[in-house]
């Protein structure tokens, strides 16, 4: 049906994969918590565009190429792990700066100016492209449910369902994260702790991606 094999199994797996914490959702949540709903959706748009690129590459056969070529897959995963590590280090440095200036009220006025340099769409887009969860999903899981009799419709159907699930989930995170924004602005110690935790998680994602196999 609609070029898809075993749709109920795909939907069940999709829900589990979307709800499983990953760098995409964590980054969108952190942006919404620090900068509000609008910036959160800007980051989410980067995630959706990145996922669309991965879906298109999967439909074009790149997923099969990565499965067949261990060297190429290794280059992709280590490049992604390096980028996630760079983000983790940046978050931890920012957290250290917040901790050191936690009693300095003048630092609160500097924070919004620094935030404008973050460019959440671009960063979320790159994070999405190197998201270990997304890479393994589109390489090893997504393609299994495309019918050979109607692959184009199958890829479109699966892609639309995946993006719809992502929109619903990220929207919930954005509005939840925006409620944390006021608390973070009032308590720099809390903000520093949350940012350092996010950095540690990104470092964990980098390690996970570097150890991933098809």
Question: What CA–CA distance (Å, rounded) separates 33 from 122?
Answer: 18
% the chain with pLDDT above 90: 14
pTM over 0.75: no
Q: Where are the domains of the chain?
A: 7-210
What are 45-77's pLDDT values in tens digits?
999 999 999 888 877 776 666 666 677 777 767
Question: What CA–CA distance (Å, rounded) separates 176 from 31?
Answer: 11
Q: Which segment, 16-25, 51-60, 104-113, is predicted with the most confidence on average?
A: 51-60
Q: What is the pLDDT of residue 107?
A: 45
Q: For the chain, what is the radius of gyration of the CA atoms?
A: 18
- Give the position of tokens 């692959």: 151
Q: Report how many helices (DSSP H) and strands (DSSP E) the chain contains, helices first.
A: 10, 0
Q: Do the Cβ atoms of 151 and 5 come closer than 8 Å?
A: no
User: What is the residue-wise DSSP string for 74-132?
Assistant: HHHHHHHHHHHHHHHHHHHHHHHHHHHTTT-THHHHHHHHHHTTS-HHHHHHHHHHT-H
* Token duo for residue 125: 């887009």
């Amino acid at each position: 049906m609609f070029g898809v094999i075993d749709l109920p199994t795909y939907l069940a797996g999709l829900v589990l994969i979307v709800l499983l914490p990953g760098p995409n959702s964590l980054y969108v949540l952190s942006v919404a918590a620090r900068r509000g709903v609008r910036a959160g959706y800007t980051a989410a748009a980067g995630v959706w565009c990145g996922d669309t690129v991965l879906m298109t590459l999967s439909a074009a056969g790149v997923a099969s190429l990565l499965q067949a070529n261990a060297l190429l897959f290794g280059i992709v995963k280590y490049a992604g792990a390096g980028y996630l590590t760079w983000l983790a280090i940046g978050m931890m440095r920012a957290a250290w700066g917040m901790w050191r200036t936690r009693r300095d009220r003048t630092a609160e006025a500097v924070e919004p100016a620094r935030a404008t340099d973050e460019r959440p769409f671009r960063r979320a887009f790159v994070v999405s492209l190197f998201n270990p969860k997304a890479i393994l999903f589109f390489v090893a899981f997504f393609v299994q449910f495309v019918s050979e009799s109607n692959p184009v419709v199958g890829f479109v159907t699966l892609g639309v369902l995946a993006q719809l699930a992502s929109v619903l989930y990220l929207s919930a995170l954005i509005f939840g994260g925006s409620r944390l924004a006021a608390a973070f602005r009032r308590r720099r110690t809390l903000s520093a702790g949350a940012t350092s935790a996010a950095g540690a998680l990104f470092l964990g994602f980098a390690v996970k991606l570097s150890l991933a196999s098809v």
